[in-house]
Chains A and B, each alone.
Chain A
Amino acid sequence: MKKIVILSLVFGLAMVGAFAADSQIWGEMRIPNILSYGQEQSLKLGALFTMLQNHYFGKIFLAILVLVPLVFFVHYKVIGPKVFSHEGKKVYAFDMFNRVVHQIAAISFIVIVPTGFVIVFGDFFGGGTFVRLCKNLHGIFTIPFAIVVIPMFVMWVKDMFLHWDDIKWLMIVGGYLSKVKNPVPAGKFNAGQKTWYWLATLGGVLMIVTGAMMYFLDFKIEMLNNITGLSQIDLLRVSAILHNVVGFAVVALFFVHIYMSIFAIKGAIHSILTGYKEEEEVKILHSSWYRKLKEQGKV
């Protein structure tokens, strides 16, 4: 692990050195970069990015920051949490490897998401040292997430494909709109968890890639320019737009994930800390998985 970190640091520094010598933005490439701004045949990404960042990105992030918790607050007050006994039998759901991988990703997200908000609302915090520190933390904590995102993808992928249960789950919104504890159709992971899984892994990789491009800024990967047909600066503009748009979804579902694990299903977070889920919880919220476990004689 240490080796990987050192290697990536050395690689990073080597790239920085290489960039200075052959700039993709301020050197020879400046002309295609400038021409890509407003020419008829160009995608006008500069103007598009300016418009989106100026008028929409901040407002959408603010709406997510306010509305998602508000909806949960109302849900908590009106319908209330699902409470399952933590005294009864338990089902072993997550092994040590699952938990370690998840916790590394969790710690990364706990830093990346709030620091991301600080950057988006940088004017509110007045810029300067604090926001700059958040920007640097936003980048540094991407490294642990980047290390675990592929193991996380691999370890859970077999449970994450679409299943009939998921359609049924979506039709009743996972049973979260009712107070009654009826068995909910879901395997080891329900449709909501699956959505979050695909977004956090595939979306997460997209966030890492677009973020890294904006971090390194002046790099040279000709293949990228050739495949996309974009100038260096247009690649950065696409990165900035994608990073924000995918960010909306990641942030919104991250809030959902936290609400579900801590509040909506009281104490469900213990399952990822200890590895054991409450049997009653599995019976109700993951009824298909429970049936399967029963057939195998595991419960």
Chain B
Amino acid sequence: MTPNTSMRFYCDESRCIDCHGCEVACKEAHHLPVGVNRRRVITLNEGVIGQESYLSIACQHCSDAPCEQVCPVDCFYIRADGIVLHDKDKCIGCGYCLYACPFGAPQFPRQGVFGSKGAMDKCTYCAGGPEDTHSEKEYQLYGQNRIAEGKVPACAAMCSTKALLAGDATSVSKIITERVLRRGSGRGASESAMWNAAYK
């Protein structure tokens, strides 16, 4: 599998209107517990006139996934299509993946009386987990498996301005390039800091 056919997220800064719809779509689709938001919209240069912009970020499913490199129990696996998933039954909640992640994606719902970190939770690209596809356990632990149904992730599917794109690298880059050409301004996918941090 070449890197060009691996699955990627891209948020078009010039289109994102800070509606937080992707956050809600994700939280609703997967019935996430209180305090866990797999996707978040952040505001860059807040309050600076003319420079404010919004970005929707989650796990970016990096091609060199640092989380996978540091995990002491090796609970991560990267699918042939580049989607980075992890096994919650193996995860010990040590937090190393969070320290390695450039995007602050891994989250740790607290568990038990001592409030220790439970198994890590992050965006699955709506591709479930290592359990049987569409099993009850997969749904409970990882949420919906829309990829297995041939659908794009819930966040990108609902994005009203189509700022958030999900798809293989070639298709996403192509759409961004077309948009930049049509607008006559802006940056291509490969010039975005986020894209480079995740997929360079």
How far is A214 from B95 in the complex, measured between Cα atoms in Å?
A: 7
Residue numbers of B with Cβ under 8 A of A are: 35, 37, 40, 42-44, 57, 66, 69-75, 87, 89-96, 98-104, 107-108, 110, 113-117, 197
Contact A16 B115 (CB under 8 A): yes
Judging by beta carbons under 8 Å apart, are B90 and A128 in contact? Answer: yes
Chain B min CB distance to A123 (Å): 4
Interface residues of A, dominant DSSP: helix
Q: Are A122 and B73 in contact (CB under 8 A)?
A: yes
Instruction: Point out the residues of chain B lying under 8 angstroms from A233, CB to CB.
Output: 98-99, 104
The answer to whether A181 has its CB under 8 Å from any CB of chain B is no
Docked-complex contact B90 and A136, CB < 8 angstroms: no
* Least CB distance, A99 to chain B, in whole angstroms: 30
Residues of A with C-beta under 8 A to B98: 25, 217, 233, 236
**Residue pair A122, B100 in contact (C-beta under 8 Å):** no
Q: Which residues of A contact B94 (CB under 8 A)?
A: 119, 122, 135, 214
Tell yes or no: A240 within 8 A of B by CB: yes
Q: Which of A26, A33, A127, A217 contacts B95 (CB 8 A)?
A: A217
CB distance from B87 to the nearest CB of A (A): 8
A window 1-45: CB within 8 A of B: 9, 12-13, 16, 20, 25-26, 30-31, 33-34, 37-38
Q: Once bound together, how far apart are the Cα atoms of A229 and B60, in whole Å?
A: 27
Closest residue of chain A to B35, judged by CB?
A: A20
**B70:A123 contact, CB within 8 angstroms:** no
Note all chain B residues with C-beta closer than 8 A to A34: 42, 57, 102-104
How many residues of chain A have a CB within 8 Å of chain B?
42
A239 to chain B, nearest CB (A): 9
Which stretch of A46-54, A70-78, A166-174, A194-202 is in the interface?
A: A46-54
Contacting pair B99 A49 (CB below 8 A) = yes
Q: Who on chain B is nearest to A217 by CB?
A: B95
A277 at the interface (CB under 8 A from B): no
**Can you identify 17 A-B contacts, CB atoms within 8 angstroms?**
A30-B104, A31-B42, A31-B44, A34-B42, A37-B197, A46-B100, A47-B66, A49-B70, A50-B70, A50-B100, A53-B69, A119-B92, A127-B87, A127-B90, A136-B116, A236-B95, A237-B99
What residue of chain B has the Cβ atom nearest to residue A31's Cβ?
Answer: B42
Q: Cβ of A65 < 8 Å from any Cβ of B?
A: no
The answer to whether A88 has its CB under 8 Å from any CB of chain B is: no
Whether the pair B115, A12 counts as a contact (CB closer than 8 A) is: yes
**CA of A123 to CA of B75, assembled, Å:** 8
Cβ A135 vs Cβ B99 within 8 A: no
Q: What is the bound-complex CA distance between A276 and B92, given in angstroms?
A: 44
Considering the complex, give the chain A residue whose CB is closest to the CB of B197: A38
Chain A residues within 8 Å of B, Cβ to Cβ = 9, 12-13, 16, 20, 25-26, 30-31, 33-34, 37-38, 46-47, 49-50, 53-54, 58, 119-123, 125-128, 131-132, 135-136, 139-140, 214-215, 217, 233, 236-237, 240
Whether B99 lies near A126 (C-beta < 8 A) is: no
Nearest CB in chain A: distance from B26 CB, A: 14
Q: Which residues of the other chain, B, contact A49 by a CB distance below 8 angstroms?
A: 70, 99-100
Q: CA separation between A25 and B115, bound complex, in Å?
A: 17
For the complex with contacts A50-B66, A127-B92, 7 further pairs of A-B residues with Cβ separation under 8 Å are A20-B110, A30-B40, A34-B104, A50-B69, A53-B69, A126-B73, A236-B98
State the CA gap A16–B95 with chains docked (Å): 16
Cα separation A131 to B72 with both chains bound (whole Å): 10
CB distance from A72 to the nearest CB of B (A): 27
Query: Is the beta-carbon distance between A131 and B92 smaller than 8 angstroms?
Result: yes
| CB-defined contacts of A120 to chain B, threshold 8 Å | 72
Q: Which residue of B lies closest to A30 (CB)?
A: B104
B16 → chain A, closest Cβ, in Å?
A: 15
A132 to B44, CA, bound (A): 37
Assembled-state Cα–Cα distance A237/B44 (Å): 24
Chain A contacts for B114, CB-based, 8 A: 9, 12, 136, 139-140
The docked-state distance in angstroms from the alpha carbon of A239 to that of B90 is 24
Q: Complex formed: what's the CA distance from A233 to B104 in Å?
A: 8
A122 to B101, CA, bound (A): 20
User: Which of B42, B100, B116, B197 touches A30 (beta carbons < 8 Å)?
Assistant: B42
Contact among A46, A123, A132, A139 with B99 in the assembled complex (CB-CB below 8 Å): A46
Which chain A positions have C-beta within 8 A of B72? 53, 58, 119-123
In the complex, the chain B residue whose C-beta lies closest to that of A58 is: B72
Contacts A26-B104, A217-B108 hold; do A132 and B93 have CB atoms under 8 A apart?
A: yes
- Given A50-B66, A122-B73, does the pair A37, B37 have CB atoms closer than 8 Å? no
Q: Which residue on chain B has the smallest CB distance to residue A47?
A: B66
